[in-house]
Chains A and B, each alone.
Chain A
């Protein structure tokens, strides 16, 4: 069974503060992703990575940075948190391209509230 673990499960941050969301996978997958979920928007891709020490911008990267220090770990960093970044954040991993390799395995999500 694929395992993607996110921490923390929830967090309250102050506007302008720095927030780091962590994700760890034990699937030996090359690809990792950060999505945010907002009502009416489904899941939107923030950043992704297909190899350690490299990250790519997704569809809504502004205000976010990502870090992939190893194959297993992928972090999302909000340097200056803003109210508009209140959302649920999902990390996911996949093996890559080719048939079932596109299947995303999601973590449990992190509920971030920025006050």
Chain B
């Protein structure tokens, strides 16, 4: 089964709006959570990440919220801009035996309309 799942294949938001991208995971041993951003025909790049010992991490317009009991984490984007239009991939990882293996969700295609 899908260990990391994004419920929304696509989202559209007006420029300046607030949006929330959601991600659910199955393995409650995961201890690292990240959001990657991918433009068409480009490689994914890390947007923001958080470890399991904190519930929230903020970086400018981007905030990750982690709900360990619900096995859920989300990305909040404020003051959305057209350049935020991209595919957002959530990922979760487990530090097991030194392995830094990340499992990705299916991705959410975000469109910010001006």
Contact = CB atoms under 8 A, between A and B. Distances in A.
Interface of A: 31, 33, 35, 40-45, 48, 50, 56, 58-59, 90, 94, 96-97, 99-104, 106-109
| Tier of interface size on chain B | 20 to 34
A104 B9 contact: no
B52 to A, nearest CB: 12
Contacts of A107: 43
B46 A43 contact: no
Contacts of A48: 99, 101
A43 B44 contact: yes
Contacts, number: 64
A108 B107 CA distance: 18
Contact of A45 (B6, B45, B101): B101
Contacts of B51: 99
Contacts of B103: 45, 59
B34 A44 contact: no
Interface of B: 6, 9, 32, 34, 36, 41-46, 49, 51, 89, 91, 93, 95, 98-107
Contacts of B32: 102
B100 A101 contact: yes
Given A42-B105, A43-B44, A102 B93 contact: yes
A99 B34 CA distance: 11
A40 B2 CA distance: 12
Nearest to B33: A102
Nearest to A58: B101
Central interface residue in B98, B100, B103, by most chain A CB within 10 Å: B100
Given A42-B89, A97-B99, 18 more contacts: A33-B101, A33-B102, A41-B106, A42-B6, A42-B107, A44-B104, A45-B103, A50-B99, A59-B103, A94-B100, A96-B98, A97-B98, A97-B100, A100-B49, A103-B34, A103-B46, A104-B46, A109-B41
